[in-house]
Structure 1
Amino acid sequence: MQIAKNAVVAIDYTLRDTDGEVLDASPEGQPLQYLHGAGNIIPGLEKALEGKAPGEDVEVTIPPEEAYGERDDRLQQDVPLSMFQGVDKVEAGMRFQAQTQAGAQVVTVAAVSGDTVTVDANHPLAGQTLNFEVKVADVREASEEELEHGHVHDGETQG
């Protein structure tokens, strides 16, 4: 079976930045499973995998606009340190879930200066060109429940 909309796909992958540094990889023997066409992975990778079959290898470079988007400076803001009640020491690089008008959003602490904390709601990989090495491990039809929910369910049998 080839990768197409509504297929459950299992991939082994390594993600590198433009310097060749590994940013992420699927654990050995534990391929990432996703529902193709449901927006579960970045658009550029989904396009590159369309039509591939189990056993195929894909190497693809994905620009920011087809990955996590360009960085948006408007997503950075200064907030009072007092908003981080219960945290002993707020430091750059820490990630928190914040309640916004648009709902829950993950923010990264960009800087701490006195009683002011600069938080950044951009995805950590926003603005970066991403290089994927992928091996298609499996492709199967999604169950009705997976299609209804828009994602793969754990415990589904491979086939």
Structure 2
Amino acid sequence: MKISKDRVVQLKYSAFEKEVPGQGKALEMHDMVFYLHGGHGGVFAKVEETLEGHVAGDKIELSLTPEEGYGERDESMMIAAPAEEFPPQAQEIGAGLEAHGPDGEVVSFVVTRIENGMITVDGNHGLAGKDLNLRLEVVSVREASEQELKVGDALPTADAANQNTMH
């Protein structure tokens, strides 16, 4: 079955910094990613465009600029404040925090610096601002269920996709 609109695609992928030609350490790897193909927002537009027409077993490599991927780094997402304004779990570099943005969305932050009684957190995605090489492997392609089409997102298994929920 070929990848086309309203099909659920299962992928494996690895992301590498473009300057490290395929030999470097992967920055991000996922063994099981599901998305609903056809403009539903489950993957970057260039990835979806590149995967169109491929089948299970295909391996694809492509490059993404920051604009095509995670975007440029936004320095306004770097926030420093006195340590006492942060919860106890934020007292360690690498700690993850969540906060609500101005329009109510949840924003994830990572503690990047602790010094002189101040904590700095970064709300940028870890791959923001990077030119990336992606290695993709199409694991499976299947028709989307009615439930998946209704919610506009893939559910990991056909069984989960076909479950009826009663309220």
Segments of 5+ residues of structure 2 without an aligned counterpart are 160-167
Match of 1:23 among 22, 27, 30: 27
Residues of 2 paired with 1:93 and 1:85: CA distance?
A: 14
Give the structure 2 partner of residue 33 of structure 1: 34
Partner deviation per Cα, 1:76-111 (whole Å, 9 max, x = no partner): 122221232333x61332221112223221011121
1: distance between equivalents of 2:132 and 2:150?
31
Corresponding residue for 1:11?
11
SS of the residue 1:135 aligns to:
strand
Alpha-carbon offset, residue 5 of structure 1: 2.4
- Where 1:151 maps in the other structure, the secondary structure is coil
What TM-score results when the alignment is normalised by the length of structure 1?
A: 0.85
Query: Any unmatched runs of 5+ in structure 1?
Result: none
RMSD of aligned C-alpha atoms?
Answer: 2.0
Q: For 2:5 and 2:132, locate their aligned partners in 1 and report how far apart those are by CA, in whole Å.
A: 23
CA distance 1:60–1:127, shift in 2 (3 Å): same
Instruction: Report the CA distance between 1:122 and its aligned residue.
Output: 0.9
Structure 1 runs of 4+ aligned residues shifted over 6 Å read: none
Matches within 5 A, 1:1-159: 1-18=1-18, 19=20, 20-27=24-31, 31-36=32-37, 37-87=39-89, 90-103=91-104, 104-156=106-158
User: Aligned partners of 1:2 and 1:155: how far apart in 2?
Assistant: 18
TM-score w.r.t. the length of structure 2 is 0.82
Matched residues, number:
154
